[in-house]
A = this chain, B = another copy of it.
Amino acid sequence: MDFVKDPRLIEQGSFEIISRELGERGFGHIEGNIIKRIIHTTADFEYADITQLHPQAIEAGMRALGSGCKIYTDTQMIMSGINKRKLGELGGSIVNMVHEPEAASIASSEGITRSMAAMRMAAGDESIKIFAIGNAPTALFTLKSLIEEGIVRPELVIGVPVGFVGAAESKEEIKKAGVPYIVTRGRKGGSTVAAAIVNALLYSMPEKL
């Protein structure tokens, strides 16, 4: 069988097709990179319409990544999807507290989700500058409360929970928290989308000298 075998050619060809089909949409360069990488990972052009970036989102996200920050994620899938080599070169790392026994114990004793419990645990770690939430609306609601209470002050919130109960609402709420955000309006999003956004930011970083 005859098919393209070089991964770089496959990726390059994919982005050419995406750019052509997107047409002229007036995205900024890095905003465009983010949206194209989301479409690359979902094959769903609706993300060009529903992806919303706070005016400071790109600058704040790149500043945080450049400082070697920790990224909070709410699923193992996001962790797996982020380019850890590239992140490590910048001195950054990923944390996921949802699966720690302490989260389960807090969740069970307080009748909340493990995602909410993990978010409260994360509030104690000031080196977490970016929150990437792809699964749990409850995590995003809790994060908004923690920001409003002055307990956490992230540089960037990537808020892209997918789902039918609370996901859309959680994304509208986080936009009111007064911190830079990247969200996908409505129901769509997910772990692959969250990872695509982080990776697009990573690939947009200037090379370190």
Whether the Cβ atoms of A14 and B80 lie closer than 8 Å is no
Q: Are B43 and A192 in contact (CB under 8 A)?
A: no
Interface of A is mostly: helix
- Of residues 13 through 71 on chain A, the ones whose CB sits less than 8 Å from some CB of chain B are 13-14, 17-18, 40-44
Name the B residues within 8 Å of A13 (CB-CB): 164-165
- A114–B7 Cα distance when bound, in Å, is 9
Q: Which residues of chain B have C-beta atoms less than 8 A from A41's C-beta? A: 162, 190
Chain B residues near A77 (CB, 8 Å)? 77, 80-81, 191-192, 195
Flag whether A89 is at the interface (Cβ < 8 A).
no
Is there a chain B Cβ closer than 8 Å to A121's Cβ?
Answer: no
- Is the pair A164, B14 in contact by a Cβ cutoff of 8 Å? yes
Q: Which residues of A contact B (CB under 8 A)?
A: 1, 3-7, 9-10, 13-14, 17-18, 40-44, 75-77, 79-81, 111-114, 116, 137-138, 141, 144-145, 162-167, 169-170, 173, 186-192, 195
